[in-house]
Amino acid sequence: MTSSQVDKQYDGSEAVGGEAPEEGYERGLGSRQVQMIAIGGAIGVGLFLGAGANIAKAGPSLIMMYALAGVIIFFIMRALGELLLYRPVSGSFAEYSREFLGPFFGYFTGWTYWLMWVVTGMAELTAAAIYVHYWFPHVPQWVTALVFLVVLFVANLISVKLFGEIEFWFSMVKVTALIGMIVIGIGVLTFGFSSAGDTASVANLWQFDGFFPKGIGSSLMTLQGVMFAYLAVELVGVTAGESQDPEKTLPKAINTLPWRIALFYVGALSVILCVVKWTEFAPGVSPFVAAFAKIGIPAGAAIVNFVVLTAALSSCNSGMYSTGRMLRNLADSGEAPKVFSKLSSTKTPALGITISVLFMGIGVILNYLVPEKAFGYVTSVATAAGIWTWLMILVSHILYRRAVDAGRLPASSFPAPGGAKCSWVAVVFLLFVTGLIAYDSESRICLYVMAGWAAALAIGWAILKARNPQVTERREQEFETVG
């Protein structure tokens, strides 16, 4: 590509180098909301509910697994951050895959990210129903899941400002509660108050069969569940098209990720496992709820249960937001029915949200048919879809850096530390986790689901090329010039 071609393609109308394109959305997400969406995205059901099963498998070594995965997540987010400041667009993962890997990968990534959030929404609805069961054991899970689905759906249709405000307060509850749990846990360890005070000790991290009580192999097998806990950190990228000042808010949100992981994951789990020995936790029960019940604080377990319910609803709310935007991005690219590109009078992709919510309703059916297995089924599929999305971010980043080094593309104002090297490390790690999923007979089913999903998308792509070949041809030519 010549320098004149570079200037022509990246003259600002394409929003390269920090200029955000005008996509018709309302730029209704302020810095306060974007920051809290980023913080809240790192605190979800994977931590609050999924950690119980993982503690039973790995014991205290789960802390190390969260720390290790957290480093990789930071690499992924810095790679995404560099791409976002190069060209901030809504539906960013699909756009970058489209540009650097070709049209099929953009199409595949967009639809797979949509699938990830649909099944994540199912998981969150399932978790929310489990939490409500704590107070109302006679109410069927599917009824609770359906009520939450409808309420959040209506809220998402109203405006992006309402979504942002709901997410802000959901995240505020989660953050405040986690900090409170850590402070109380440290108090129990330091001053020995409560019924857990006599047994609370840092030595609980190694006293019961060591730090790796079931072996390193068993600890590594929890990485698939740990990675599910980190799903949604990339949601900041989806907000790029509706952020008031992406050049400032996005880097700030991404750079705060390390301390969020250190405090809310590593810190909170360390305190919990010091206060209560790991052998007392069980799958299907939130370790935070169990810890507060052990401490014996009046209504403590009920309060924590409310907090984790908030976390589930927060993630489901985010899922409805992101699926509608991703469907619109696919429609704008000719890779989904054109009707999805229309915005409502409140500048929300109402039809895309509606269709996505209908698919999330499958989670209600799963809660009716197999309530005890619903959470495990959908989390494994969501993890596989999330790993694909992260891989596409990393590979796109590697190819982008190659193009910048060759002088074909302008440099981003937010370069990732370590350049493409850290992205390569993250790619290897994600492939390793995929291998663990394939090895585990219980989670392996998600790879079969993804294979079926890939086959369905391949058929859809063939139909798309037959009906509208100019879309794919045009984008393939663009890709050739990018290199």
pLDDT digits (tens, 9 = 90+) for 268-318: 899 988 888 888 887 777 788 778 777 877 677 788 778 878 888 888 888
Per-residue pLDDT at 431: 95
Interatomic CA distance for residues 46 and 41, integer angstroms? 11
Q: Any alpha helices (H) in 334-407, and if so which ranges?
A: 350-369, 374-405
What band does 64 get if pLDDT is binned at 50, 70 and 90? very high
Q: Which of 112, 149, 77, 101 is nearest to 327 (CA)?
A: 112
Segment 362-381 mean pLDDT: 70
Residues pairing with 243 in the sheet: 29
Interatomic CA distance for residues 325 and 144, integer angstroms? 26
- Which range (170-184, 372-386, 436-450) has the least confidence? 372-386
DSSP annotation of 29: B
Cβ neighbours of residue 273 closer than 8 Å, sequence gap 6 or more: 55, 60, 62, 63, 204, 205
Q: Which of 272, 267, 287 is nearest to 67 (CA)?
A: 267
Cβ neighbours of residue 386 closer than 8 Å, sequence gap 6 or more: 116, 227, 228, 231
Q: Which of 274, 263, 266 is nearest to 206 (CA)?
A: 274
Helix (H, G, I), strand (E, B) or coil at 243: strand
**Are 225 and 53 contacting, i.e. CB atoms less than 8 angstroms apart?**
yes
What band does 67 get if pLDDT is binned at 50, 70 and 90? very high
Per-residue pLDDT at 231: 80
Distance, C-alpha 321 to centroid of its chain: 13
Distances, alpha carbon 454 to alpha carbons 107, 240, 404, 447, in Å = 11, 28, 31, 10
Cα angle for residues 206, 210, 214 (degrees, 5° grid):
135
Q: What is the pTM of this model?
A: 0.83
Which pair of structure tokens corresponds to residue 390? 């992260």
Residues pairing with 29 in the sheet: 243
**Are 192 and 275 contacting, i.e. CB atoms less than 8 angstroms apart?**
no
Which pair of structure tokens corresponds to residue 122? 């199912």
What band does 23 get if pLDDT is binned at 50, 70 and 90? low
Interatomic CA distance for residues 376 and 381, integer angstroms? 9
What band does 362 get if pLDDT is binned at 50, 70 and 90? confident
Per-residue buried b or exposed e for 141-175, using 16+ beta carbons within 10 Å of the residue's own CB: bbebbbbbbeebbebbbebbbbbbbbbbebbebbb
What Rg, from alpha-carbon coordinates, does the chain have? 22
Please compute, for residue 234, the number of CA atoms within 13 A of its CA located in the half-sphere on the CB side.
Answer: 32
pLDDT in tens, 82-132: 998 888 776 677 889 988 998 889 899 989 988 888 888 877 777 788 788
Segment 388-402 mean pLDDT: 95
The single-letter code of the amino acid at 350 is: A
The dihedral sign for the CA sequence 395, 397, 400, 402: negative
- Which range (20-24, 293-297, 395-399) has the least confidence? 20-24
The single-letter code of the amino acid at 327 is: L
Q: Which of 352, 378, 341, 346 is nearest to 363 (CA)?
A: 378
Segment 423-450 mean pLDDT: 90
DSSP annotation of 281: -
Could you please report the per-residue DSSP string of 162-219?
HHHHHHHHHHHHHHHHHHHHHHHHHHHHHH--STTTTT--GGGGTTTT-SSTTHHHHH
Interatomic CA distance for residues 164 and 33, integer angstroms? 6
**Are 250 and 33 contacting, i.e. CB atoms less than 8 angstroms apart?**
no
Per-residue pLDDT at 227: 86
